[in-house]
Amino acid sequence: MKTQTTAQILKQAYKLFKNGKNWIRGDYAHDAKGNEIGSESPYAVKFCSVGAIEHLQLPASASSAENSAFRILEDHLPEDWTEITDFNDADGWPPVKALWIKAIQTAEKLEKKRLDGKGKKK
C-alpha cells in the first residue's frame, strides 16, 4: 500500500467538508442527526478541521504526513492564532476554507519541489 502524501491527506480531508456544508465548529464531528460523535466513527458526517483529518484513520505508516498536514495548517493560521481548533471555531467557513486552500497549495508545492529535487544530479 502506497503511503499518502501530506497534500493527499489535506485534499482528502478537505473534501469531507463538501464546500462548507459538512463543516462544523465546537465539536470534532457530528452524526447525521447533528449529535456530537467521535471523529473516527463511520457515522460521522460533519467535521471541524481537526476532526476531518482524524476521520481519515490513517495507518501508522502515514503518521509523518499526518503530522505535516497539521503543521502546515498551523503554519498558515493568521497572526495571533496558535490553535487550529480555536481558529476553526471563531469566524465561520470562509476563513477556514481559505486556510485549507493555502495549506493544500503549500503542501503541493513542497511535494513538487521534493520530487523535482530527486531527479537532479549533484
Cell of 71: 503543521
Domains of the chain, residue spans: 6-117
> Within 10 A of 17 (CB to CB), how many other CB atoms are there?
20
Render the burial of 25-45: b for 16+ CB within 10 Å, e for the rest. Answer: bebbbbeeeeeebebeeeebb
What does the pLDDT read at residue 120?
56
pLDDT by position in tens, the chain (length 122)? 467 899 999 999 999 999 999 999 999 999 999 999 999 999 999 999 999 999 999 888 888 999 999 999 999 999 999 999 999 999 999 999 999 999 999 999 999 998 888 755 44
| Measured distance CA(63)–CA(40) in Å, rounded | 15
Quickly count helices (H) and strands (E) in the chain: 5, 2
| Measured distance CA(18)–CA(100) in Å, rounded | 13
What does the pLDDT read at residue 122?
46
Helix, strand, coil percentages (3-state) for the chain, rounded to 5, are: 50, 5, 45
What does the pLDDT read at residue 2?
65
Amino acid in position 102: K
| Measured distance CA(79)–CA(69) in Å, rounded | 19
